[in-house]
Chains A and B, each alone.
Chain A
Amino acid sequence: MQQFRQVKKIGVVIGLILMGLILGACGEGEGANADGRTTISIYSTGSQNVEAYWETVIPMFEETQDEIEVNLVFIPSGTGGQSTMDRLIAAKQSNNDSGIDIYEGTLSDIIRSENEGGLFYQLDEEGIPNLSNIDESNLTGANNMAVPYRASSVVLAYNEDAVADVPDTAEELYQWIKDNPGRFAYNDPSTGGAGSSFVLTAVYNQLPDEAMNIQDESIMDDWAPGFALLRDLASSLYNDGIYPQKNQGTLDLLASSEVDMIPAWSDMALEQINTNMLPSSTKLKQINPAFTGGPSYLMIADNGVDERKQASEAFLDFVLTVEAQEVVIDQMYGYPGIRWDLLSEEDQERFSDVSDGYRIFNGGELSEELVKRWQREVAAQ
């Protein structure tokens, strides 16, 4: 009984602290700038390496000047990042300030924004001089609405000691999986991009190249052969069809030699090879046709406050400096957003293995449908 009472006491104390925190949080205001400083908020999403990136770059930026304070709101992947877009749209419709200044998103978010009548500012070199560092074609792809500040792609990661015949094409990969039962794993596509890229390419490899740009739902009827392939592969996968959770789940299996080959994000895999979380026998390779990948875009949300627009532009300008881009390469192992020739030759060398390119999926909300159907037809088969 004595112990029980103590636990109760602790419970009461914790409850009081929690209540205090909740009440405290309610009183926090938006963009308070009594001392003449401008506060902007950046909403970012992704794996932990993205969060670590911002935690490095934001202090670097704040050191260069003292008028702008940057507030990071980080939403880990798979925890409802889409809600940030919903917030922007809701704020636009009700004419409110969304409290979001910089938003990190994808091309499909730009399309969604156009449909809602434009949520973001048009960007130009007047506000962001360093835009000239970016390859021209990458900017027009985003309608000058967004800055592609880094990129990464899904690649094949394998254990060099165990895999003799490394597949070059997707067909060879599927054959390899069948020839080596239990030695390949891809993660649950609803929990991370590496697995969903494997599912996506398995389905779209059965279709013409341009299918990846179709957003019409009628294409879902043509998915059947791809799902048949995935069902067929299931029994040859790790543990007769176990799909670990999150991108890290399959990387863990590769690290503990439970499997020999996985699809993985280039940046995550490179980082973990460098920090010895993956053994040095781990090699990366892009197959043909390639897995998907793509740039991450930064957009400036239109809240109608000029001061915050200028502050956001200054921040984006900093992100595109060689100094900040080197953090992308050195710390995130991502592909830089600026032109390769601006970087050192040493850096260019390091990426020769994986810079074979990637495909970009432009199906918009179809990717949700794909995961739904995967859950029904492949996971629960």
Chain B
Amino acid sequence: MSRLLKGKVLGIGLVMPSFLTLLVLVAYPVMMSVRTSLQNRAGEWSWDNYRYIFTEPLISQNIRHTMFVTIISCFFVLIIAYGIALYLRFSTRFFSKLINKLYLIPMFIPGVIAVYGFINFYRNNGWVARLIGTDNMLPIIYHVRGLIMINVWFNIPFTTMLLLSALQGIPNSIIEGARDVGATKWQLFIRFILPLSYKTMLVAITFLFMGIIGSFTAPFLIDRNAPQMLGVSMQQHFSVFNEIGQSSSLAVFMFLLSSAVGCFYIWSNMKHSKKELS
């Protein structure tokens, strides 16, 4: 066996376990739900389920609500996490070192526990209300505000970690060089830091979007009863209404939304690597 072939076999062999896992745990269930979504209750092929999710006003409200929450949450997470990452990268003060040690903590708190803590903290007669007075309390729990807040809280650590590693990859020499020729802070940011980190931002957006659009625990416990996030609506169709087909079609729709974002990410990556090659 030639060396080249050996290398190829080794490569494929190394990829195989994760590929097979993906096939069994992701690809197969996806195919199954595509199939069930195309069958009506009698088991015949039909578009009924898709007609339902695109014509039923309840579902279109849910879809609009989901997109709203997802996009707004992504926006806030990105802004805040980028801010924290910039601060951590360029400040060497004691306070920044402290934050550097603390910001990952939310990642290690189980979701349900965090949500219950959040509810007890912000509910209409919770801790915050007791401090500032019940009358001054803005409704947060059972309101979309609360949902966006908890999404931001959940997602900041991971996003910050991603962005920070990108910013740390920018060599100090570039920044010092630019400063030496008289670049202002603003120019430094627009011309160097942003272009050198925006690819990681795309990665972060992809992760955020997929994570938030499919979330269940937080919207189930914090959001209003209607409109619902799609994850909650899907669970309701599946186990309360026993509408397996309709919940599958919702799942497929969500999958398509997520893959659209995934494709955008891959496309922008490929564009980049082509540039680097040529």
Bound pair (A, B)? yes
Highest count of chain A CB atoms <10 Å: which of B139, B142, B240: B240
Does residue B221 face the partner (Cβ distance < 8 Å to A)? yes
A258 to B134, CA, bound (A): 11
> Given contacts A4-B165, A190-B236, is CB(A375)–CB(B226) below 8 Å?
yes
User: Is there an interface contact between B241 and A380, defined as CB atoms closer than 8 Å?
Assistant: no
A190 to B169, CA, bound (A): 50
User: Is there an interface contact between B225 and A78, defined as CB atoms closer than 8 Å?
Assistant: no
A247-263 at interface with B (beta carbon < 8 Å): 256-258
User: Is there an interface contact between A376 and B58, defined as CB atoms closer than 8 Å?
Assistant: yes
Q: How far is the CB of B19 from chain A (nearest CB, A)?
A: 13
A80 to B236, CA, bound (A): 10
User: Is there an interface contact between B169 and A1, defined as CB atoms closer than 8 Å?
Assistant: yes
What residues on A are CB-neighbors of B238 within 8 Å? 80
User: Is there an interface contact between B161 and A380, defined as CB atoms closer than 8 Å?
Assistant: no
What residues on A are CB-neighbors of B242 within 8 Å? 82, 368
User: Is there an interface contact between A190 and B240, defined as CB atoms closer than 8 Å?
Assistant: yes
User: Is there an interface contact between B58 and A4, defined as CB atoms closer than 8 Å?
Assistant: no
- Contacting chain B: which of A129-137, A238-246, A284-292, A300-308? A238-246
- With beta carbons under 8 angstroms apart, the residue of A80, A245, A372 that contacts B220 is A245
> Given contacts A1-B169, A242-B142, A243-B225, is CB(A368)–CB(B240) below 8 Å?
yes
Does residue A344 face the partner (Cβ distance < 8 Å to B)? no
B191-225 at interface with A (beta carbon < 8 Å): 220-221, 224-225
User: Is there an interface contact between A375 and B125, defined as CB atoms closer than 8 Å?
Assistant: no
What residues on B are CB-neighbors of A372 within 8 Å? 241
Q: How many residues of B contact A (CB 8 A)?
A: 26
Q: How far is the CB of B89 from chain A (nearest CB, A)?
A: 12
Does residue A140 face the partner (Cβ distance < 8 Å to B)? no
A234 to B238, CA, bound (A): 26
A112 to B255, CA, bound (A): 35
> Given contacts A4-B161, A257-B125, is CB(A380)–CB(B240) below 8 Å?
no
Does residue B21 face the partner (Cβ distance < 8 Å to A)? yes
Does residue B227 face the partner (Cβ distance < 8 Å to A)? yes
Q: How far is the CB of B185 from chain A (nearest CB, A)?
A: 25
- With beta carbons under 8 angstroms apart, the residue of B123, B221, B227 that contacts A380 is B227
Interface string of B142-180 (1 = CB under 8 A from A): 100000000000000000011001001100000000000
User: Is there an interface contact between B61 and A79, defined as CB atoms closer than 8 Å?
Assistant: no
Does residue A13 face the partner (Cβ distance < 8 Å to B)? no
User: Is there an interface contact between A242 and B241, defined as CB atoms closer than 8 Å?
Assistant: no
What residues on A are CB-neighbors of B241 within 8 Å? 190, 368, 371-372
Q: How far is the CB of A22 from chain B (nearest CB, A)?
A: 8
- With beta carbons under 8 angstroms apart, the residue of B58, B125, B224 that contacts A258 is B125
Does residue B124 face the partner (Cβ distance < 8 Å to A)? yes
Does residue B239 face the partner (Cβ distance < 8 Å to A)? yes
User: Is there an interface contact between A380 and B125, defined as CB atoms closer than 8 Å?
Assistant: no
Residue of B nearest to A191 (CB): B240
Residue of A nearest to B25 (CB): A22
- With beta carbons under 8 angstroms apart, the residue of B58, B123, B221, B240 that contacts A371 is B240
- With beta carbons under 8 angstroms apart, the residue of B125, B142, B225 that contacts A256 is B125
Count class of interface residues, chain A? 20 to 34
A163-196 at interface with B (beta carbon < 8 Å): 188, 190-191
A245 to B221, CA, bound (A): 6
What residues on B are CB-neighbors of A242 within 8 Å? 142, 224-225
Does residue A19 face the partner (Cβ distance < 8 Å to B)? yes
Interface string of A313-342 (1 = CB under 8 A from B): 000000000000000000000000000000
Residue of B nearest to A368 (CB): B241
> Given contacts A242-B224, A245-B220, is CB(A80)–CB(B125) below 8 Å?
no
Does residue A220 face the partner (Cβ distance < 8 Å to B)? no
User: Is there an interface contact between A239 and B220, defined as CB atoms closer than 8 Å?
Assistant: no
What residues on A are CB-neighbors of B125 within 8 Å? 256-258
What residues on B are CB-neighbors of A73 within 8 Å? none
What residues on A are CB-neighbors of B123 within 8 Å? 256, 258
What residues on B are CB-neighbors of A376 within 8 Å? 58
Residue of B nearest to A78 (CB): B239
Residue of A nearest to B240 (CB): A190
Does residue A3 face the partner (Cβ distance < 8 Å to B)? yes
User: Is there an interface contact between A3 and B161, defined as CB atoms closer than 8 Å?
Assistant: yes
Does residue A17 face the partner (Cβ distance < 8 Å to B)? no
What residues on A are CB-neighbors of B227 within 8 Å? 380
Interface string of B35-56 (1 = CB under 8 A from A): 0000000000000000000000
A242 to B238, CA, bound (A): 23
Does residue A379 face the partner (Cβ distance < 8 Å to B)? yes
User: Is there an interface contact between A1 and B21, defined as CB atoms closer than 8 Å?
Assistant: no
A15 to B169, CA, bound (A): 28
A4 to B163, CA, bound (A): 11
What residues on B are CB-neighbors of A79 within 8 Å? 239
Q: How far is the CB of A78 from chain B (nearest CB, A)?
A: 6
> Given contacts A257-B125, A258-B124, is CB(A380)–CB(B165) below 8 Å?
no
Sample 15 A-B pairs with CB under 8 A, ordered by A number: A1-B169, A7-B161, A80-B238, A80-B239, A82-B239, A239-B124, A242-B142, A242-B224, A245-B220, A256-B125, A258-B124, A258-B125, A375-B236, A379-B225, A380-B226
* Residues of B bordering A, CB below 8 Å: 21, 58, 61, 104, 123-125, 139, 142, 161-162, 165, 168-169, 220-221, 224-227, 236, 238-242
* Residues of A bordering B, CB below 8 Å: 1, 3-4, 7, 15, 19, 78-80, 82, 188, 190-191, 239, 242-245, 256-258, 368, 371-372, 375-376, 379-380
Given A3-B165, A239-B139, A242-B142, 5 extra CB contacts under 8 A: A1-B169, A4-B165, A239-B142, A242-B224, A379-B225
